Amino acid sequence: MKIICIGRNYSEHVKELGNDPNAEPVFFMKPDTALLPNRNHPVFYPDFTNNLHYEGELVFRVSRLGKFIEPQFAHLYIDSIGFGIDFTARDIQQTCAAKGLPWEIAKSFDFSAPVDGFRPLSDFPDLNNISFELKLNGVTVQTGNSRDMIFDIRRIIGHVSKYVTLKTGDLIFTGTPKGVGPVQKGDVLEGFLEGVPSIKVQIK
């Protein structure tokens, strides 16, 4: 399986700035080794970064093989929604970006994509109105709603499947709202989907 992540998919100012209808979503991938082996496994703070950031995100699970999927049929290719944390070595990412290099290593390292709390699509009557929240040591640091995505899940699936065949079990991280920030060893992150506790991760 593969993990597909959408970059920069929320903007506070998108409405006032106007959305470019011709813009396309940016995506990158993480390997399956970015998942945690089980839900109690900690995320080890990598020794190659001094600025590990959380990014709380809605995650959609692919349920069918698909290529060139039309956006209006995209919901037929997903079966559940969970909460994921797209861990990012922000210092490495910024260094790579400044040099015009790919920032793969800032995103794809081991345990950089914990995900949990999957619930069936039928639990979410409106894909464009799903709320989520991330707490750091019990304090809310991010709140988001899928209605604020620049590219909704249908457009994401339509776009990605033009380039990459989607397979059963693939995961799509859909981008993070504002409020990203650093973690330290010992921190605990908790994600909530529509108020339901969905993931708990300890940094070690």
What is the contact surface with Mg ion in residues (CB under 5 A)? 55, 86, 176
Q: Which is nearer to Mg ion, 86 or 133 (CB)?
A: 86
Q: Which is nearer to Mg ion, 76 or 91 (CB)?
A: 91
Per residue in 123-143, is it b (16+ CB within 10 Å) or e — as a string? ebeebeebebbbbbeeeebbe
Q: Which is nearer to Mg ion, 108 or 176 (CB)?
A: 176
Round to whole Å and give the CA distance between 11 and 176: 9
- Least distance (Å) from Mg ion to the CB of residue 97? 14
Q: Which is nearer to Mg ion, 86 or 116 (CB)?
A: 86
- Least distance (Å) from Mg ion to the CB of residue 67? 24
Q: What is the dihedral of CA 65, 6, 52, 107, to 10 degrees?
A: 50
- Least distance (Å) from Mg ion to the CB of residue 159? 16
> Is residue 36 a contact partner of residue 111, using CB atoms and an 8 Å limit?
yes
Round to whole Å and give the CA distance between 159 and 63: 17
Residue written as tokens 């991938």?
A: 29
- Least distance (Å) from Mg ion to the CB of residue 85? 9
- Least distance (Å) from Mg ion to the CB of residue 87? 9
Q: Which is nearer to Mg ion, 93 or 176 (CB)?
A: 176
**Residues 134, 79, 6: CA angle, nearest 5 degrees:** 50
Per residue in 57-91, is it b (16+ CB within 10 Å) or e — as a string? bbbbbbbeebeebebeebeebbbbbbbbbbbbbbb
Q: Which is nearer to Mg ion, 76 or 95 (CB)?
A: 95
- Least distance (Å) from Mg ion to the CB of residue 151? 13
